[in-house]
A and B are shown apart, each in its own frame.
Chain A
Amino acid sequence: MTGKAFQRIYTQLEAITKATVTLRAQGVSNDELATVAGRQAQVVKIKGDLVTLQVFAGTDGIATNAEVTFFGEPPALNVSDDLAGRFFNAYGEPIDNGPAVEGERRHIGGPSVNPYKRRQPSQLIPTGIAGIDLNNTLVSGQKIPFFADPDQPYNQVMASVALRADVDKIILGGMGLSNDDYLYFRQMFENAGALDKIISFVNTTDQPPVERLLIPDMALTAAEYFAVDKNEKVLVLLTDMTLYADALSIVSNRMDQIPSKDSMPGSLYSDLAKIYEKAVQLPDGGSITIIAVTTLNNGDITHAIPDNTGYITEGQLYLKTDTDTGKVIVDPFRSLSRLKQLVIGKQTREDHSQVMNTAVRLYADAANAKTKQENGFDLSDYDMRCLKYAKDYSNKLLAIDVNISINEMLDTAWELFATYFTKPELGIRQELVDKYWKDIKN
């Protein structure tokens, strides 16, 4: 690491755009950190002695004779156990009036874990929400986003999932959080008495958008410290990754890169993957689990941001408002946890897989029946039963305000099956039906 004695100072800018400045400088290294008129910046391009810096806070008011100081190292975070319970900005500086954290200085956005050294994720993370535990079980070391419209209570759901999950540390990476949401998280964590296991890196809407680009790497560098060095189970919350991607597109646009789909940079997939792939189950027991939020425009998942995200993450959870019950539910059709097979029927009851699939299939039949009904057709007896079932299923299992154990969820499902259907209509393996079928007398 280069000490302060080696700092080089320049005062002649060659070019200024809204997000970058260019100057002539010698001996500058790629990704190096600098300040431009006191604002943090990072080297993004070197061509001969022309160096382009990305200024995180924007270049408003920067003059061609602004002072540029190079630090000789990429962005870094001081890591130690003292991080716990603290709130930081995008640069890793405290915003809770506490002292600066002392510790080992680590470059953020470090190397990837050797895939061969990873372990298979295997620990179930129960949340009490049936839409998650029953249909889309979470596993430690997984990365999964909520796909939600901006008006849905995704931050609330995420906060309650985090607080119910059995983990050692919760790290919040807030990008473009509204001040209200930031205070909500803070209060939620304080009320739960869990502040000492929570670390927050926050960029709010009133701060420059490009600063957000540092948040995930800051949060994950802290996460790696606790997971790798301390063998702890770490849960990282990233909200909202759509705003992160928007910041990426601002920067690539200012650097005259040719945009690909939806004016996003062509490297969007790799950029997002670098973050999400930090989720890992380590050989010595530590793990990093990432739950993120990707907000959608009118539920459009073909937009480049949710689309690329879906290809990277291990599933996605959709929130939607069920018009029949008026409750926010986890959509069983489009939600998916890819790692659920690793724990379903292994750490949960043997009937889990078939009950889950059957319940969703019947819910799909109900959706068909509903379409029929809306088109003005007569409904069969089976259709009617499906519709009644759907309402109960939505209320008792899918709604996000449900908080029960997985066995209770399975029992509830069998009760619903017995209430509305016959055994052959389920198509479940005979032995399981024999064992778990609940006779309902009424």
Chain B
Amino acid sequence: MTTKGKVTGIISNLVTVEVDGPVAQNEICMIDLDGVELMAEVIKVTGKNAFVQVYESTRSLKTGDKVEFKGYMLEATLGPGLLSNNYDGLQNNLATMEGVFLKRGEYTAPLDTEKLWDFKPIAKPGDRVAAADWLGEVQEGWLPHKIMVPFAFKGNYTVKDVVPAGQYRITDTIAVLTDENGEEKAVTMVQKWPIKVAITAYKEKPRPYRILETGVRTIDTLNPIAEGGTGFIPGPFGCGKTVLQHAIAKQGEADVIIMAACGERANEVVEIFTEFPQLEDPKTGRKLMERTTIICNTSNMPVAAREASVYTAMTIGEYYRSMGLKVLLLADSTSRWAQALREMSNRMEELPGADAFPVDLPAIISNFYARAGIVTLNNGKTGSVTFIGTVSPAGGNLKEPVTESTKKAARCFYALSQNRADRKRYPAVDPIDSYSKYLEYPEIIEYLQKRVDRTWVEKVNSAKNMIKRGKEAFEQINILGDDGVPMEYHERYWKSELIDFIILQQDAFDEIDASSSMERQEFMLTKVMDICGKSFDFDNFEECSAYFKELINIMRQMNYSEFKSARFNEYLEQLNNRIENDR
């Protein structure tokens, strides 16, 4: 018998329910508002009273309204057909909803249950299998989508039967498994999993040992992110967080992209809806949308579902990781998620931590980041979830609870600087404050030496050093004046400007410059560092700045030209001449 209850109190979307039976923490319940069912989640229980956060507006709700408890937690539905869909935070399919406005209590199915999929078996009768082992596959877009033993199956099973290749619906039984007690269990192509629980059905989770290329120079060259790694992008508004994240989504070298638009602007999501179906993946020639799932809970959608959206996104990411795929998960912005936690904690009258955030915020954030990672599956193949979150620090001040908690959890830090953004130096990632811990991993250094060049990491580090020294020189020049410092300072400053303009800055809106291959990045950095390695003998600082401005101009034209094209080579020759003829 299911537990029932009735509403006894309402403050915004926090509702108290008097219950007539057992309830579980995080259990889902439905509140009946004049025939409209509102979904809610239990977040606290005291005595006979359950406190539930409602995923919808509670307008016109009354005391005495009936509540029915469902006996399960908030779950994601996992199966073929997730890709290229657009969901809200509770995994309702936004495309199949009726009307222009979101209607309260309208819940739509995440997957198409009528569609027929071409199923090919992988496992055969007699195989010993466990949770997440592959039983068969269907073709989803360009990806082989594995049908797995459901994650919720504990222990070992023997395959009794797998259906032959053919067309099936996701709800058709495709295999029958026998457990250790001889009990038979049917498996379909669709399974459910509670979103707040990590999927751990894999053999092991090693340290990341490869780079995930993004085509963004300031990331790949200076502070690369590992496949299965974690990173975060904090920055005040207007510093290009979203543009940078979209660039990574478009160019990131991953099989599956999951974007969680968490409490951000609706028009930004519309941009993805509009652009991604047009954009092609350069490697496969398929549309970007085919490998993308969007979880969209914009800032005006119910706050409680905002919190759920990041978990829904992560669960879908872990599902595809179990198929041996590279998943890139982007969440914009995790601060909104933290604010959703704060609003609820506030309504429950909990004692607040710093800036009125709940005291367990750091634990919640680090648990979430820990779900990313590269894993070795039971069959020895690897899959990964790389996670990059953005943080929107209040007032652009990085000493606030969300940024500080995230800094402890994430391994890459891409600090966006107001100063760079003001000077239109995009992407505004600060080259001095930002870091990638992965550059210190011996596995990663070894990988980069093979992937790019034996001396690559040294080259990168010396470029970073030059940027630092250039900044110091600039400060000296500002204090002492152009004539008050030795010529060498000007030279140092302009060398760092060359690195800034040619390597760090990148035009995300230019067709060619937007994405830079690793080969191209290597070529340009080598060229820039060659120039920086020379010593010059300028007569005065104006000659120095004029010289470097000229080089910057030529090399910018190179960045705007197709790599190794006739035009590119023309500028290259021009550059070489300029360098040789002069000193």
Asked if A372 and B478 sit within 8 Å, CB to CB, the answer is yes
A-contact bits for B412-434, CB 8 A (1 contact / 0 none): 00000000001110000000000
Residue of A nearest to B333 (CB): A311
Asked if A270 and B339 sit within 8 Å, CB to CB, the answer is yes
Q: Once the chains are docked, how many angstroms separate the CA of A318 from the CA of B557? A: 33
Number of CB contacts from chain A to chain B under 8 A:
220
Asked if B273 and A339 sit within 8 Å, CB to CB, the answer is no
Residues on A facing B (Cβ under 8 Å) = 27-32, 44-49, 73-74, 107, 110-121, 141-142, 228, 257-261, 266-267, 269-270, 273-274, 277-283, 301-304, 307-308, 310-312, 314-316, 333-334, 336, 338-339, 341, 353, 357, 360-361, 364, 371-372, 375-378, 380-382, 424-425, 427, 429-430
Residues of chain B contacted by A376 (CB below 8 angstroms): 481
Nearest-neighbour CB distance to chain A for B58, whole angstroms, equals 5
Of A32, A115, A357, which one neighbours B269 at CB under 8 angstroms? A115
Of the A-B pairs whose beta carbons lie under 8 Å apart in the complex, a sample of 22, sorted by A's number, is A45-B11, A46-B10, A46-B62, A47-B8, A47-B16, A48-B9, A73-B60, A111-B102, A111-B103, A113-B102, A115-B273, A117-B94, A119-B274, A120-B273, A121-B270, A228-B100, A260-B356, A282-B100, A333-B422, A339-B267, A378-B483, A424-B553
Asked if B299 and A30 sit within 8 Å, CB to CB, the answer is no
Interface residue B449 (Cβ < 8 Å from any Cβ of A): no
Given contacts A258-B346, A261-B394, A302-B396, whether A30 and B266 have CB atoms under 8 Å apart is no
Given contacts A260-B342, A282-B100, A312-B299, whether A28 and B62 have CB atoms under 8 Å apart is yes
Of B10, B101, B270, B481, which one neighbours A111 at CB under 8 angstroms? B101
Residues of chain B contacted by A334 (CB below 8 angstroms): 238, 422
A-contact bits for B338-364, CB 8 A (1 contact / 0 none): 010011001001001001100000000
Most chain B beta-carbon contacts within 10 A, residue among A270, A339, A357, A430? A270
Q: Once the chains are docked, how many angstroms separate the CA of A119 from the CA of B550? A: 43
Residues of chain B contacted by A310 (CB below 8 angstroms): 236-238
Asked if B9 and A314 sit within 8 Å, CB to CB, the answer is no
A-contact bits for B37-69, CB 8 A (1 contact / 0 none): 000000000000000000001111111100000
Residues of chain A contacted by B296 (CB below 8 angstroms): 115-116
Of A118, A228, A336, which one neighbours B267 at CB under 8 angstroms? A118
Given contacts A269-B339, A277-B266, whether A377 and B482 have CB atoms under 8 Å apart is yes
Residues of chain B contacted by A29 (CB below 8 angstroms): 59-62
Interface residue B366 (Cβ < 8 Å from any Cβ of A): no
Given contacts A74-B59, A277-B300, A427-B553, whether A311 and B392 have CB atoms under 8 Å apart is yes
Interface residue B314 (Cβ < 8 Å from any Cβ of A): no
Asked if A31 and B86 sit within 8 Å, CB to CB, the answer is no
Asked if A111 and B422 sit within 8 Å, CB to CB, the answer is no
Asked if A141 and B356 sit within 8 Å, CB to CB, the answer is no
Asked if B343 and A277 sit within 8 Å, CB to CB, the answer is no
A-contact bits for B285-305, CB 8 A (1 contact / 0 none): 000000000001011110100
Q: Once the chains are docked, how many angstroms separate the CA of A302 from the CA of B336? A: 17
Residues of chain B contacted by A45 (CB below 8 angstroms): 9-11
Residues on B facing A (Cβ under 8 Å) = 8-12, 16, 57-64, 86, 94-95, 97, 99-104, 236-238, 242, 263, 265-267, 269-271, 273-274, 296, 298-301, 303, 333, 336, 339, 342-343, 346, 349, 352, 355-356, 392, 394-397, 422-424, 478, 481-484, 509, 541-542, 545, 549-550, 552-553, 556-557, 560
Residues of chain B contacted by A120 (CB below 8 angstroms): 267, 270-271, 273-274
The 9 closest A-B pairs by CB, nearest first: A302-B395, A273-B299, A277-B300, A377-B481, A116-B94, A310-B237, A260-B356, A31-B59, A47-B9
Q: Once the chains are docked, how many angstroms separate the CA of A315 from the CA of B396? A: 15
Of B59, B95, B238, B424, which one neighbours A316 at CB under 8 angstroms? B238
Residue of B nearest to A117 (CB): B100
Residues of chain A contacted by B103 (CB below 8 angstroms): 111
Q: Once the chains are docked, how many angstroms separate the CA of A310 from the CA of B542? A: 40
Nearest-neighbour CB distance to chain A for B289, whole angstroms, equals 13
Of A116, A261, A277, A339, which one neighbours B299 at CB under 8 angstroms? A277
Residue of B nearest to A376 (CB): B481
Residues of chain B contacted by A273 (CB below 8 angstroms): 263, 298-300
Asked if A113 and B101 sit within 8 Å, CB to CB, the answer is yes
Of B9, B349, B424, B484, which one neighbours A46 at CB under 8 angstroms? B9
Given contacts A30-B61, A353-B509, whether A115 and B266 have CB atoms under 8 Å apart is yes
Q: Once the chains are docked, how many angstroms separate the CA of A73 from the CA of B34? A: 14
Q: Once the chains are docked, how many angstroms separate the CA of A339 from the CA of B238? A: 12
Q: Once the chains are docked, how many angstroms separate the CA of A357 from the CA of B423? A: 9
Given contacts A111-B57, A307-B395, A378-B483, whether A116 and B303 have CB atoms under 8 Å apart is no
Asked if A357 and B424 sit within 8 Å, CB to CB, the answer is yes
Q: Once the chains are docked, how many angstroms separate the CA of A375 from the CA of B478? A: 9
Residues of chain B contacted by A282 (CB below 8 angstroms): 100
Besides A115-B86, A141-B267, A382-B545, 17 new A-B residue pairs in contact (Cβ under 8 A), listed by A number: A27-B62, A111-B103, A112-B102, A114-B94, A114-B97, A114-B102, A118-B266, A120-B273, A257-B346, A274-B300, A277-B299, A278-B300, A339-B267, A364-B423, A377-B482, A427-B549, A427-B556
Asked if B238 and A48 sit within 8 Å, CB to CB, the answer is no
Q: Once the chains are docked, how many angstroms separate the CA of A281 from the CA of B266? A: 11
Q: Once the chains are docked, how many angstroms separate the CA of A32 from the CA of B63? A: 13
Of B392, B424, B484, which one neighbours A361 at CB under 8 angstroms? B424
Nearest-neighbour CB distance to chain B for A337, whole angstroms, equals 10
Of A30, A115, A364, A430, which one neighbours B58 at CB under 8 angstroms? A30
Q: Once the chains are docked, how many angstroms separate the CA of A371 from the CA of B478? A: 9
Residue of B nearest to A277 (CB): B300
Nearest-neighbour CB distance to chain A for B85, whole angstroms, equals 10
Most chain B beta-carbon contacts within 10 A, residue among A27, A277, A303, A333? A277
Asked if A302 and B300 sit within 8 Å, CB to CB, the answer is no
Asked if B482 and A424 sit within 8 Å, CB to CB, the answer is no
Nearest-neighbour CB distance to chain A for B343, whole angstroms, equals 5
Q: Once the chains are docked, how many angstroms separate the CA of A282 from the CA of B270? A: 11
Residues of chain A contacted by B556 (CB below 8 angstroms): 427
Q: Once the chains are docked, how many angstroms separate the CA of A334 from the CA of B237? A: 10
Most chain A beta-carbon contacts within 10 A, residue among B63, B273, B342, B481? B63
Nearest-neighbour CB distance to chain A for B151, whole angstroms, equals 29
Q: Once the chains are docked, how many angstroms separate the CA of A334 from the CA of B422? A: 6
Residues of chain A contacted by B336 (CB below 8 angstroms): 269
Residues of chain A contacted by B237 (CB below 8 angstroms): 307, 310-311, 316
Residues of chain B contacted by A279 (CB below 8 angstroms): 267
Residues of chain A contacted by B299 (CB below 8 angstroms): 269-270, 273-274, 277, 312
Asked if B356 and A378 sit within 8 Å, CB to CB, the answer is no
Residues of chain B contacted by A228 (CB below 8 angstroms): 100
Residue of A nearest to B340 (CB): A270
